[in-house]
Amino acid sequence: MVRTKHLISIDDLSDTDLDAIVARAVDHAADPAGHGHPLAGQFAGLYFRHTSTRTRTSFWSGALRLGAGVLNFGPGDLQTTTGESTEDSGRVLASMVDILVARTCGSEDELRGWASWQGMSVVNAMSELEHPTQALTDLATMRAHFGSLSGLRVTYLGEGNNTATALALAGARIPGMEIDFRTPPGYAVDARVMARAMATAVRTGARISESHDMSALPSGMDVVYTTRWQTTGTTKPDPRWREVFAPFQVNETLWETNPKAVFMHDLPAHRGEEVTAEVLDGPDSIAFEQAANKLWTAMAVLEWVRA
C-alpha cells in the first residue's frame, strides 16, 4: 500500500529520508537504466505557474522513465485562476492524480492546502521561500563528485533566495559540512530559516554562517556556489541593486585561495553578472553536470513520495 508523502520543505524529510533520496539520485546517475517502472499505473500532474527548463523537464522525463503517466498544466489552466479555492481544487486533483509537482513562486500555504487531501503526494518545485529539490540535486552532485558529503566546505555567493534557503536547511543535516553564505546587504537568507538551519547544525556538527560583505573569505573551500541575481518570479524594488550585488560576482580571483574548488550554479546563468564566462565554462565548473543531475534527483523524489 502506498503511503502518501510530500516534499514541500527540506524540513519534511528526516535525516534518513534526505540521505536515501540523495543516495538514490547518485545510483540513478550511475545506472540510468536500472530503475524499472515502479510508478506504472500512476499519474503525475505538473503545474508550473512560472518558467522552468530544468525542473519541469526533469520531473516530466523522470515520471515517464519510472512508468507514470504525465498531465501538464500551464499557468492559466486550473480554475484557481478564476476563484476556485485551493482546498476545492486540491480535493478534485487528489481524486485524479497520484502526484502533483507544483511551481508557484508563492507561499507554501497553497502547497500545504493541496497536500491536505489523502492520496495525492505534493512536491514543491519552487515556492517563494524554498526550492527543496534543488538542494537535493546540489547534495547529490557533491556526493557524486567527492564521494562523500561529510566535512565538505562550501562558499555561497549571492542573494539569499529560495535556492540558498533550501541549501542551508539541507547542508545543516550533513555532519561536518560547512557552508559560508555571503549575501548582499538587504538580501539575506530568511532569518527564520537561518535560525532553523543553525539549530540543526548544532545537532549534526555542521557549520552554517552568513556575512554580508566579501572580507575575510575562507580559503581552501571545496565548492564555490552562486545563483543568478534575479530570481525567477521576483523583481527588486531598488533600482541600484546591481551595484549592491557587483562585489559578490564569482570570478577567477576566487581560485587563487581555493585552487581545488569546483564551481556550482543552479542555472540559468547570466555570464558577466553573477559569474564570469571563464568560470562557468572553465575546467572547474560542474554546473552542467549539476543540471543533468536534476533528472536523477527528480526520479528519486518521485519514488520516495510514492514508496
Tell me the pLDDT tens digit for each residue of 250-269: 999 999 999 999 999 999 99
Residue appearing with cell numbers 521561500? 129
Element (H, E) at 208: strand 207-211
Query: What's at 232, amino acid-wise?
Result: T
What is the residue extent of each domain of the chain?
A: 10-130+294-305, 132-291
Cβ pair 305, 8 in contact under 8 A: no
Is the pLDDT higher at 75 or at 193?
193
User: CA distances (Å), 50 to each of 45, 105, 137, in order?
Assistant: 15, 7, 20
Q: Looking at the predicted structure, is the pLDDT value of residue 1 above 60? A: no
pLDDT in tens, 215-228: 999 999 999 999 99
pLDDT in tens, 51-107: 999 999 999 999 999 999 999 998 888 888 888 988 898 899 999 999 999 999 888
Q: Collapsing DSSP states into helix, strand and coil, what is residue 142?
A: helix
Calculate what percentage of the chain has a pLDDT beyond 90: 87
On the question of a common fold for 10-130+294-305 and 132-291, the answer reads yes
What is the third-level CATH fold of 10-130+294-305? Rossmann fold (3.40.50)
Please give the Cα distance from 26 to 102 (Å, whole number): 24
Question: Domain 132-291 carries which CATH code?
Answer: 3.40.50.1370
Please give the Cα distance from 92 to 207 (Å, whole number): 44
